[in-house]
Every structure is written in structure tokens, then in C-alpha cells.
Structure 1
Amino acid sequence: MSASPLTATIDTAERTQSPAHRDSVLSVDCDGDALVALLSEPAITASSSDTGVLLIVGGPQYRVGAHRQFTLLARALAASGTPCLRLDYRGMGDAEGAMRDFADVDADVAAAIDAWQRERPQLRRVVLWGLCDAASAALLYVHRRRDPRVAGLCLANPWVRTEASLARAQVKHYYLGRLRQPAFWRKLLSGRVGLSALRELLGKLALARSARAGSDGAPGDRQDTRQDTRHYTEQMADGLRGFAGPVLLMLSGDDVVAKEFLDRCRDGGPAWQGLLSRPGLRRADLAAADHTFSTADWRAQVERLTADFVRDARPA
């Protein structure tokens, strides 16, 4: 594998090796822009690996991830026998090109798989792994591209946010709880809860009602007008429903993004009905975890869940 000129700029933590894995740099061309990806492979068995994990990094961040979570996940997977590629898509990290959001990275994902297969011809199938809007990007990719090389999806706290959905989640999971607390009413009656707080609550209630009425797709919400003019969340639902392979859904209990996703599955209309019980979906709830699985224990749980899922997704 040819080394990128950026190899010298990778920090010491990125280049640290262990006996169980090895890291190398993969340069990816996407429509003339150079992307950078880090490939972690089993130290001994890389030549026989026909299934790998492509870790899509959400924005705006790069391939290391918050508290180095993507570096550590990739190396844990490699140590367990599964190669993992972490990608900076265009406009992020060390990649060239204009900045873009999660709904416009289909070409970047396809280019990464193409480059990986050129460098490792034995690679036949990939599992897409994404946290937050990267999980959304994975669902949009399988919906739009129908890429037969994608053998599975690992989705962590998928992003389905609109202004209305956030208001609904806040009302349901925060404000209603506060209204049940005697301390809140004592503060209200004593004047320690100001009019601005009450106005905020009333505004959230109004937005939540608009979501119930089916107006989640506000005019300013992101749409991909080149391929599918529907709201991105509807495209995500079609991706999850239409994908034939297995899916691992990991949800954090202490995360409003995960709560918004569950609310969408329950109340998001016909496109979302029944998706949590679709065949091949394996759900894992990490009850105490935050959005990015920021402790060593939560990170280890995600690593085990992912490694077990990929092993089961491989053909017999």
C-alpha cells in the first residue's frame, strides 16, 4: 500500500502499533479530491480478511473521533480479526474538497470502498458503522446506492433531528418530568422560575404539537434535491426498511438524539412504522451511556457488540 504524504503528519497516538494490529494510511480519490483514511488490520491474518468495517465519521470532526473513540474502536476490531477503515470525507480532517454535511457523502463512501478493494483484493463485503449523523449517512447510502458490497449496518444513536423533533423530545423527556416535580412549582410560585422559562416551555409545546400534526419536515431542513426530494428522515426510513442485510442498532439511554430516534420510530408516520421489529435488526440499549459512549466501560461494550455482530454477519 502506498503511503500518503500525510503519513508524517499523523500524530504519535495515531501511529502507535500493538502486536495485535497494524495501521497504515490509505489515500482515496473522490471526484478529484484526495481523502485520507486509516486502515487498522489484524497483524497476522489481514491477507485472509474478506469482510471489513468502514467507519464513517460524522461531522464536523475527523477520523480519530471524540476521546479517540474511533481510533480505539478500529484497533479493537482489528485485534479481534476484522479490518477497519476510518475515513475523512471531503472537507473534514485531512481531506481535500469543500465541506459538506452527512446527507451528501455517498460518493465519498463509495470511493473509500473502491480504494480499499483495490489495495486489498480479498475484501468482498463491508459493514458500514456510524454514530449520530454518520449512522444517518449509512442509511442514506444504502437507500440511494443499493451497493451489494454492503453486508451489514452498525447504527449508533442515528440522527433524525428537526427543530420540531428536538422540541418534542425535550417536552417528553425533560419538561414533562420537571412539571411533575414539586420543586418546580415551588420555584414558579416563589418567582424563581422567570417568564422567559415559561415562554420557552410554551414554545417547545407548540413545536411538539406541530410535529404531531406531521410538519416535522420544516422548509429549512436538509434535503438531497439531486436524487430524492423527500425529507432526509424519510429516505433513512426507506434505507432501513429496504436493506436486506443485518442491522445492529445501539442506543444510549442518556442521549436526546437516541430518544428522538425512538420517538421517530414510534410517531414518525407510516414510513417508520414497524422498523424496530424488522427482520435482521439486533437492538442493544446501553441504559446509562451518553451520546459518544465516553467511558472505557461503554466503549468496551460497543467494541464487543460490533465485533460479535460482524462475526455473525460473515457468510458461513
Structure 2
Amino acid sequence: MNALPAPLHRDHVLRIDCAGDALVGVLSDPTADRVDGTRTADIGVLLIVGGPQYRAGSHRQFTLLGRALAAAGVPCLRIDYRGMGDAHGDRRAFDEVDDDIAAAIDGWQRERPALRRVVLWGLCDAASAALLYAHRRRDARVAGLCLANPWVRTDTSLARAQVKHYYLERLRQPAFWRKLLSGRVGLAAARELLGKLAQSRAPTAGDASIGRGDRRHYTEQMADGLRAFGGPVLLILSGDDYVAKEFLDRCRDGGPAWRGLLARPGLRREDLPDADHTFSSAAWRAHVERLTAAFVRGMAAAS
């Protein structure tokens, strides 16, 4: 009977203190007996989980990502921040988890003293949380950012994205006009379109700020975090996703804070044209895993 291949990763549960509350994390480490012997020396990925999610992620994407990174030689810690999953404490919004991120890095370093540098990885509002952390804390241990479909949503930005990427496309379709002239497109649909058009013209400055400490709108804080961050950035964008489209619209039309950010030195943009928001197919998920592993291993090789 053939022996089973040796595992390329090993999972460990970590309990991390955060202001008196217990966070729960799962650390996926590369095994010592990797076939190619490739391991990152002092760098790992902290996977921030956006809400409302816990550390496994939808269709187990974060579990699979963490283990794939470890199998590629990159340790990965994924955590439940306070109020989510198995963590204690009151539930926090994405702009309130700075202490949780810092505590996770602290706890990881206590468990693995060789760890010196961390790459923050986030999808949707977890990517926003990573940028807010970079802006507010300026933590020297954070050496890189992996941002997947960052969240910049306001009521106005959603309406603009819907008008631009859905309603205007429908107006270009002959079938829409045939339905309209035949009476099969009702008044309710027409009113919905007019309402979205009116909402999309509303000034973005009117959207409420949800930032803490820095009272500017959270998207301006995100832009500052991205502009001032000194390390490399991997930006992964899905083609079939309103959140990604809103982010690109914000980079183009978001005013001086966002101008030129996609061309900043050290930013690498990767588009997955057919992918949905959570990279739900095995092929999309594997693509994201390869991009992330190559990004982090490239950082390790450059040091």
C-alpha cells in the first residue's frame, strides 16, 4: 500500500487577548518537510475576515486560502475579531477593528518569535479595514497589503454604479425598447430608473461619515492609507462585482484624495474579468491563491 503524501501545512488554534476579550485564530504553518524546501523566513499573511463572516469564510474560502498559502511556504493566520465567530466581546463594524488587528499581530509574534513582517489580506470591507489600519496605526510590522474588491460603498456610489453598469446597458438593448413600447416594462421599472438617476447625482459629500477619531469619511481615510503606505500592494478586482466597480469609480471620480492612486509606485493590479465578489469557483479561488502566494514570496525574496 502506498503511503499517503506528507501534509504541506499544519493548523494550530490560537487564543489571543484583545482588551480583555478573547479572539480565536487558526494559524496554518508550512510543515518542515516541504518537498521543495521553500519557506518564507520572517513574513506571514494575516487574513482579516470581513463581516458578517467568521474565519472560515463563505464556501470555506478563507480556510482554503490559508492552507494553500501554508502549502506554498507562507504561514497564514485567520482570526475572528470581537463579536464574530468564536471570539468574545461586542460585535464591531469594519472601521472599529484596529485593536483586533494589532492584538492578532502581537499574539502571533508571541507564538512565533521569528515573525517580523505581516501582510494584511482582506476582501470587501476587510480590505477597507486593512487600509484604515494602515492609515491610523502606521504599524511598521505591516510590510504589504493584499486588497480584494475593497468596499467604498455609499448610497450615492451604489446608485451611480447601478446606473452606469446596469441601467445604461439596458437602455442600449433593443429588447428593452421593444418591451417598453409593448407595455411590458411597467411604470414601476421606469420610476426605479428615474429614482436611481436622481440618487446618482447626489453629492458624495452628503454621505455620512462612519470613521472613528479621524472624522473624515471613511473612504478618504482609506485613500490616505493607500497613498501613504510604503510597502507593496496587491489589488485584486473581480469583473462581475458591483463592489469592485464602485472602487474603480471612486478611484476615477473620488476627488483629490483618490486621484492617481491606481498608478502609485508598488501597486500591482490583477483583474479577474469573469469572477464574482467572493471568487466562488475553484478556478477563481485557485487564481487568487497563486497571486497571493507569489506576491508574498516575492517580498520575501526581495528582502
TM range (shorter): over 0.9
Shift of 1:313: 1.5
1:218 aligned residue (178, 189, 207):
207
Q: CA separation of 1:237/1:217 partners in 2, compared to 1, >3 Å: closer, same or farther? A: farther
Shift of 1:174: 0.3
Q: Give a deviation string over 1:31-75, Cα, whole Å, max 9, x none.
A: 000010000000117997310000000001100001100000000
Question: Which residue of 2 is the match for residue 88 of structure 1?
Answer: 80
- Asked if 1:149 is matched to 2:135, the reply is no
Q: Which runs of 5+ in 2 are unaligned?
A: none
- Asked if 1:166 is matched to 2:158, the reply is yes
- Asked if 1:192 is matched to 2:208, the reply is no
1:101 aligned residue (68, 73, 93):
93
Q: In structure 1, what is the Cα distance between the partners aligned to 2:167 and 2:75?
A: 44
Q: CA separation of 1:18/1:144 partners in 2, compared to 1, >3 Å: closer, same or farther? A: farther
Q: In structure 1, what is the Cα distance between the partners aligned to 2:211 and 2:100?
A: 18
> SS where residue 277 of structure 2 aligns?
coil
Q: In structure 2, what is the Cα distance between the partners aligned to 1:244 and 1:67?
A: 33
2:168 aligned residue (166, 176, 192):
176
Question: Which residue of 2 is the match for residue 29 of structure 1?
Answer: 17
Shift of 1:215: 2.5
Q: How many residue pairs get matched? A: 294
2:228 aligned residue (239, 242, 247):
242
Q: In structure 2, what is the Cα distance between the partners aligned to 1:45 and 1:231?
A: 48
Q: Give a deviation string over 1:105-147, Cα, whole Å, max 9, x none.
A: 0000000000000110000000000000000000000000000
- Asked if 1:20 is matched to 2:8, the reply is yes
Question: Which residue of 2 is the match for residue 75 of structure 1?
Answer: 67
Q: CA separation of 1:280/1:93 partners in 2, compared to 1, >3 Å: closer, same or farther? A: same
1:125 aligned residue (109, 117, 130):
117
Question: Which residue of 2 is the match for residue 9 of structure 1?
Answer: none
Q: Is the 8 A contact 1:59 1:102 kept in 2?
A: yes
Q: Is the 8 A contact 1:162 1:216 kept in 2?
A: no
> SS where residue 204 of structure 2 aligns?
coil
Q: Give a deviation string over 1:173-226, Cα, whole Å, max 9, x none.
A: 00000001111111112221111111111111111111xxx425413x5222xx
Q: In structure 1, what is the Cα distance between the partners aligned to 2:295 and 2:211?
A: 31
Letter in 2 for 1:88: D
- Asked if 1:286 is matched to 2:272, the reply is yes
1:265 aligned residue (240, 251, 261):
251
2:218 aligned residue (221, 232, 238):
232
- Asked if 1:65 is matched to 2:57, the reply is yes
- Asked if 1:139 is matched to 2:131, the reply is yes
> SS where residue 201 of structure 2 aligns?
helix
Question: Which residue of 1 is the match for residue 238 of structure 2?
Answer: 252
Q: Is the 8 A contact 2:40 2:73 kept in 1?
A: no
Q: Give a deviation string over 1:287-306, Cα, whole Å, max 9, x none.
A: 11000001111011000100
Letter in 2 for 1:169: A
Letter in 1 for 2:207: A
Letter in 1 for 2:256: P
Runs ≥4 residues deviating over 3 A: 45-49
Q: CA separation of 1:48/1:190 partners in 2, compared to 1, >3 Å: closer, same or farther? A: closer
Letter in 1 for 2:204: S
Letter in 2 for 1:236: M
Q: Give a deviation string over 1:1-58, Cα, whole Å, max 9, x none.
A: xxxxxxxxxxxxxxxx961000000101110000100000001179973100000000
Range with greater deviation from structure 2 (240-249 or 193-202)? 193-202
Q: Is the 8 A contact 1:89 1:95 kept in 2?
A: yes
- Identical counterparts, % of pairs: 75
Letter in 2 for 1:304: R
TM-score (norm 1): 0.90
Question: Which residue of 1 is the match for residue 199 of structure 2?
Answer: 207
Quote the RMSD (CA, aligned, Å): 1.5
